[in-house]
Amino acid sequence: FTVFCFFIKVDVVAQEMFQVQSYMYNQFIYNPASGGMYETDFNAQTASRLQWSGTEGAPVTNCAWMDHRFKKNKMSTGMVFLNDQIGATRTTEVAANYTYILRLTKSLKLSMGLR
């Protein structure tokens, strides 16, 4: 039985999140609670990743996101647009985000987000 187990091949396939560099500038992609964290009312950004250019199946990621903070309502809404390709796998995502901002002190905020 032990020898037989050595010859069994098991494939495990899991979901893989897209990879975007510079998390410091791309927090809204991974964390919907980061919407409205900047002092401006409207933010829009894009990011692109092209790795191993010229190689078949090379990872390519393009994304854009925006958020709008409503000061009086203590909330923020936003959208994330993502196109990710790794090998034969292609993912296209469009997500809407909602963030509620609770001000604890003048400089400290607690945010809760839904995607």
Tens digit of each residue's pLDDT (9 = 90 or more) over 55-108: 888 888 888 999 999 878 789 999 989 888 888 888 888 989 999 988 888 888
Token duo for residue 24: 């410091």
Rg, the chain, Cα only: 20
Distance CA 82, CA 45 (A): 12
Q: What is the pLDDT of residue 17?
A: 59
Q: Which residues contact 92 (CB under 8 A, 6 or more apart)?
A: 82, 83, 84
Q: Helix or strand or coil: residue 55?
A: coil
Token duo for residue 38: 């900047």
